Structure 1
Amino acid sequence: MPSTTDRPGGSEDPFAVAEALQSVVRDTEALSVSAPPPAEPGEPENRDTVVVDDAVLGRRETVQVPVQRRPPERRGAPLPVAVLFATLWAALLTYLPVAAVLGLARTLEGAGGLAGAARAGAAAWLLGHGVPIGTSIGPLALAPLLLTVLVVSRLNRAGLHVTRAIGARRSGSLGSALLVAVCVAVAYAMVGALTAHLTDGRGTQVSTARAASHFLLLGLLGAGIGALRGSDAVTTLARRVPAALRHGVRTGLVAAFLMIGAGAAVGGLSVALGGGDAAKIISAYHTGVAGQAGITLISVAYAGNAAIWATAYLLGPGFALGAGSVVRLTEFSVGDLPTLPLLAGLPNGPMGAAGTLLLALPVLAGGVAGWGLTQRLRYGRAHAWGPGRGSGADGPEPQWPLLIGAGLLAGPVAGLVTAALAGFSGGPVGAGRLAEIGPAAGPVGLVAALVAAISVIGGAAAARAFGAPRRPASRRPAARK
């Protein structure tokens, strides 16, 4: 910017501008005192020229602005302290609700006692981690998945907090993320081993080594996700892998969770339609209000398992509710079942030709994931469904090899995720006929992989061929009046 009288040196400093204006006004007033009188009418005007140069500007007073003090830099907490605090806090936030609910139920039923409630809550908490509990009727290993989801979410927060505490937030360091995940997982495994040791005893048998291994795996999963997000190492990791693999993994995860969402919607609708039977089942329990509330809470805790089972039902392999039983679209064979409200949503028998339309839901879920893949490649992740300023709406269309390669990779990813969830959603309930509950992980994962690969490629190709690119709102031509 050129230098002027009111902006010396082109400065944008407001203090310098104000001082320059003040000096110009002061020097102008001083010169106007000795100025000659105005000329008579008809005579040429005789005015002196006032020159403001650097010498005039140099006579102004200098104003010194005090330097603003910088806040002292925060030092991160030591890694052991941050890990211990975050891990214990995550454990307490998931254990206390379980212990409180069981303690309230035991108190209302006349079987109160703080020690008994704490021990029962610890056993249920261990079961939520997938740790088998030995009982008088046999092993109990059917984990309530909603409690498991809560555990993973709190461990996610623990990994995020530890990453922030040690000063590794948004550092992009994979080493820091891995260090945080391992430290939190080891600490959580120690908590699990201690809880199993205290719970093991008369009436409940728990393996300390089994508990430690389950807690370690969940700790690595939850804290690893939080540490990768907190340190922004996900971006660093994504830059090191090929584009087809990166988009294939993301699309496979989206397809798997959309399939599970379809299963949850169908399962929830079935339970809602059988709401009358569910109410009769709850009222049939003569255990008082506390007992009926406990049965309802058990059904809610296993709603995640029911969503996985419904997904297996939609995919075709189905699931089992006891030894020798099978629940599929084309086959229905079950024996005597426990009277739980959640089971009121079971079909009455094999579905007819109209029921086969349900098989289209996983295909539609994969197609939506494939459509999102093409849109994301067109406009970027932030503008996948609505291109705006800064999107790639004017860029080249996604290449066919990238779409097909990502779609083919999305199939195995969706299959692995679905198989893992199907395997974790089942388990024995005693040593009797209910020793086999849940879907078979292998067939469910294989069918999910095939359905996801085909439907994702179909959805991506449809969006590429028939979905015309959209311009951002700021670049659309104005409508003619």
Structure 2
Amino acid sequence: MPTTPEEPDEGAQTRLAARETVRLPIQRRAVRGKGPARRPARRAPLALAAVIGSLWAALVSLMPTLIVVWLLYALDSAGAPLTQVLRLGLAGWLLAHWVPLETGVGPLSLAPLGLTAIAAWRVYRAGVHTARAIGARAHHRGKPWSPWPAARAGVAIAVVYAVLGALAAVVAAHKGVAVGAVRAALTFAGFGLVAGSLGAFAEARGIARLAARTPRVLRDATRTGAVAALLVLGAGAATVGMAVAVSGGDASQIIDDYHTGIAGQIGLVVVCGFFAPDVAVWAASYLVGPGFTIGSETFISAAHVTVGALPAVPLLAGLPSTPATGYAPLLLGLPLLAALIAGWLLARRSLRLDPERPWLPLLGAAALAGPVAGVLLALVSAAASGSLGAAGLSDVGPHSGAVGFVAMFMVAIGTLLSTAATKVALRAKRARE
């Protein structure tokens, strides 16, 4: 029987319903995809993000210290109570942040830079995550970029880290070890502010914006000076490795003299790993020229060597006993070689980007690389200096001012010569082509 308008066909109704069912999700997705209809991402509170990031950074950098203390206490068959392991671990962790410890043998202030690097990296990442959580990189249309969100993230990290440092100092203080809680809080605040702010501004693209607005000469000088400083430090690390390898028998004998088991030997090796960057900086100061001291009786430089009583540490087995002789003086040319390599890289990169770059800005960048490298090496030398307790070991490490001064002139001369020679060689090559 034919259908009437009042009674629509059931098949048509089914097809219409199916068509509407298919259209509905498509229409919803289209509306959801529009810019004005998109809901803004939810952001975490600044305090919560800073607390979580700082706590995680502290735990990650503290765990290696606790493990080493536990391994060293494993030498004793009776073991050690958990509270003692925690206190000593916290004391070593505080020392890695340059918080001095007052002990029965005197003040300890030489930071294990290997552990310091781990702590700085984790606090840097805490700044990155905190800035990301509060949306420090986001910016509204029509409004200029603001540094305040990243600055707030860095300050929040510093505040939380200062509290953690004060608490660690209170817990670590016990019979034989005294730690100033106020000193620890202030030191941790500065540590957290520097590392956390760097991470926050890197996440917010603040460092990239600053670099883009910096004159090209200064950018090239900073990059070249940093490369030269890293190459000098790398040469120092290679020298230490070679010296310890040559004196491997003496280093093994020092470890055997402790009469430890496998766990104790592993703990000693890890402790040496924590202090290996310090010794690498000392070796770099030896290569640069000024040398370094280990207390009042030991002075090591290429021209003069005086060896007194030394701590029984395997890393010190490779110390020279005489001034540089034979082929050893060739090692003193490594810092100059580092400067030549840095200058070559500067010229190659600059002339690849701008083949017609004038002489003045190119040589200006090479000359300014010297002060940049000198400042960096002076700061690292100061970080690798401190006290090992006893009166005879109260001054350990290189003289940072002398290292920075000599390195400044050495790097400036090397980069200038290499940059000029590279530019002349590249120009001659283009002329032949």
TM bracket (short chain): 0.7 to 0.9
Alignment of 1:28-43 (within 5 A): none
Residue 13 of structure 2 corresponds to: none
What per-residue deviation string (whole Å, max 9, x for no partner) do you get for residues 297-343 of structure 1?
22111100011000000001000112042101111101121221101
Change (3 A) 1:258 1:321: same
Post-superposition shift, 1:250? 1.9
Higher helix share: 2
What per-residue deviation string (whole Å, max 9, x for no partner) do you get for residues 64-116 of structure 1?
76343347432111111111110111001111221122124324412321111
- The structure that has the greater radius of gyration is 1
More divergent stretch after superposition (305-314 vs 335-344): 335-344
Residue 265 of structure 2 corresponds to: 292
* Kept after mapping to 2: 8 A contact 1:403/1:457: no
Distance 2:297 2:255 in 1: 27
Residue 194 of structure 1 corresponds to: 167
Change (3 A) 1:470 1:163: farther
Q: 1:122 aligns with which of 90, 94, 104?
A: 90
Post-superposition shift, 1:202? 1.8
What per-residue deviation string (whole Å, max 9, x for no partner) do you get for residues 255-297 of structure 1?
1111111111111111112112211211121233333222222
Q: 1:169 aligns with which of 130, 134, 137?
A: 137
Alignment of 1:402 with 2:361, yes or no, is yes
2:125 aligned counterpart, secondary structure: helix
Residue type of the alignment partner of 1:262 = A
Residue 149 of structure 1 corresponds to: 117
Residue type of the alignment partner of 1:132 = P
Post-superposition shift, 1:468? 5.2
Residue type of the alignment partner of 1:196 = A
* Kept after mapping to 2: 8 A contact 1:174/1:237: no
* Kept after mapping to 2: 8 A contact 1:152/1:221: no
Residue 275 of structure 2 corresponds to: 302
Residue 62 of structure 2 corresponds to: 95
Residue 80 of structure 1 corresponds to: 47
Distance 1:457 1:173 in 2: 39
Distance 2:107 2:168 in 1: 18
* Kept after mapping to 2: 8 A contact 1:374/1:398: no
- Unaligned runs of 5+ residues in structure 2 are 1-21, 140-144
* Kept after mapping to 1: 8 A contact 2:235/2:284: yes
What per-residue deviation string (whole Å, max 9, x for no partner) do you get for residues 193-230 of structure 1?
12112222321111122212221222122212212221
Q: 2:422 aligns with which of 463, 466, 469?
A: 463
1:304 aligned counterpart, secondary structure: helix
1:169 aligned counterpart, secondary structure: coil
Change (3 A) 1:433 1:154: same
Residue 387 of structure 1 corresponds to: none
* Kept after mapping to 2: 8 A contact 1:126/1:211: yes
* Kept after mapping to 2: 8 A contact 1:277/1:344: yes
Alignment of 1:370 with 2:338, yes or no, is no
Residue 420 of structure 1 corresponds to: 379
Alignment of 1:251-270 (within 5 A): 251-270=224-243
2:320 aligned counterpart, secondary structure: coil
* Count of aligned pairs between the two proteins: 396
Normalised TM-score (structure 2): 0.86
What per-residue deviation string (whole Å, max 9, x for no partner) do you get for residues 444-468 of structure 1?
1111111111112222222211135
Distance 1:76 1:84 in 2: 15
Normalised TM-score (structure 1): 0.78
Distance 1:437 1:302 in 2: 13
Higher RCO (C-alpha 8 Å, min separation 6): 2
Residue 210 of structure 1 corresponds to: 183
2:239 aligned counterpart, secondary structure: helix
Distance 2:170 2:220 in 1: 44
Alignment of 1:380-459 (within 5 A): 392=353, 395-459=354-418
Distance 1:228 1:396 in 2: 33
Distance 1:104 1:83 in 2: 32
Residue type of the alignment partner of 1:235 = A
What's the % identity of the aligned pairs? Answer: 42
What per-residue deviation string (whole Å, max 9, x for no partner) do you get for residues 390-431 of structure 1?
xx4xx4332211112212221111111111111111211113
Alignment of 1:178-257 (within 5 A): 178-257=151-230
Residue type of the alignment partner of 1:358 = L
- Unaligned runs of 5+ residues in structure 1 are 1-62, 380-391, 472-476
2:324 aligned counterpart, secondary structure: coil
Alignment of 1:359 with 2:359, yes or no, is no
Change (3 A) 1:164 1:274: same
* Kept after mapping to 1: 8 A contact 2:71/2:267: no
Alignment of 1:346 with 2:305, yes or no, is no
Distance 1:187 1:466 in 2: 55
Change (3 A) 1:283 1:344: same
Q: Which runs of 4+ in 1 moved over 6 A?
A: none
More divergent stretch after superposition (170-179 vs 453-462): 170-179
Change (3 A) 1:467 1:174: farther
